[in-house]
């Protein structure tokens, strides 16, 4: 069973790596409308329609004569207070990589823009593994598995590895 356990661990690392490489997404905030105060985009609705994960990238596309991007605290976000931002971006085409789980808040620092709705609350969640069966439940089963079930488990593991490998490779193809 030790061999199987090490395989499982390898597997989880492999999967995390694979997902990290092939599943990282780039989102242009507000899609084609970009980062604007003109009311074309409901940023809360936009954010709610996405699933953000660690490693994903946000792109803020805007005219930097009229807007900027300030990463705010939750209080700053709620009060539209841009006086003490965590980070300020002013390029007009700013990319922000989501580095940790939880909420990350952005507002526009120009007067009235945040109040007009140019603010966004991004919730970064951990990826849900929809493809793999949970290997931990199998390994935590009582000891003394019969030879048959052990063989079956190992066979299953290789099969799953093959499927995942194919999945990852197909991910790279896009
Ligand atoms: Cu603005």
Residues bordering ligand 1, an ion, CB closer than 5 Å:
37, 67, 108, 110, 113, 118
d(CA 168, CA 174): 10
**pTM, two decimal places:** 0.64
- Ligand 1 centroid–CA 116 distance in Å is 9
Residue 4 above 90 pLDDT? no
DSSP β-bridge partners for residue 59: 28, 95
Q: Can you give the pLDDT at residue 173?
A: 45
**What are the CA-CA distances from residue 97 to residues 25, 52, 86 (Å)?**
10, 11, 15
d(CA 82, CA 150): 60
The model's pLDDT over 67-118, given as tens digits with 9 standing for 90+, comes to: 999 999 999 999 999 999 999 999 999 999 999 999 999 999 999 999 999 9
d(CA 80, CA 76): 5
Is residue 169 very low, low, confident or very high in pLDDT (cuts 50, 70, 90)? very low
CATH no., domain 24-124: 2.60.40.420
- Ligand 1 centroid–CA 24 distance in Å is 28
% of the chain residues with pLDDT over 90: 57
Break the chain into its structural domains and give their ranges.
2-20+131-173, 24-124
Is residue 127 very low, low, confident or very high in pLDDT (cuts 50, 70, 90)? confident
- Ligand 1 centroid–CA 138 distance in Å is 53
Residue 140 above 50 pLDDT? no
Residue 148 above 70 pLDDT? no
- Ligand 1 centroid–CA 37 distance in Å is 5
- Ligand 1 centroid–CA 28 distance in Å is 16
The model's pLDDT over 22-40, given as tens digits with 9 standing for 90+, comes to: 579 999 999 999 999 998 8
Mean of the per-residue pLDDT values of the chain: 79
Q: Can you give the pLDDT at residue 157?
A: 58
């Amino acid at each position: 069973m030790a061999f199987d356990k090490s395989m499982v661990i390898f597997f989880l690392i492999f999967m995390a790596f694979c997902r990290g490489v092939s599943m990282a997404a780039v989102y242009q905030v507000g899609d084609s409308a970009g980062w604007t105060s003109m009311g074309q985009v409901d940023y809360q609705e936009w954010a709610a329609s996405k699933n953000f994960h660690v490693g994903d990238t946000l792109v803020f596309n805007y005219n930097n004569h009229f807007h900027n991007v300030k990463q705010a605290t939750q209080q700053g976000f709620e009060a539209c207070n841009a006086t003490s931002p965590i980070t300020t971006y002013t390029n007009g085409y700013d990319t922000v990589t989501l580095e940790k789980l939880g909420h990350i808040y952005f507002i526009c620092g120009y007067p009235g823009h945040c109040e007009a709705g140019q603010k966004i609350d991004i919730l970064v969640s951990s990826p849900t593994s929809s493809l793999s069966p949970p290997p931990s439940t199998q390994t935590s089963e009582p000891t003394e598995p019969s030879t048959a079930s052990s063989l079956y488990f190992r066979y299953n593991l290789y099969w799953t590895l093959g499927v995942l490998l194919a999945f990852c490779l197909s991910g790279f193809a896009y």
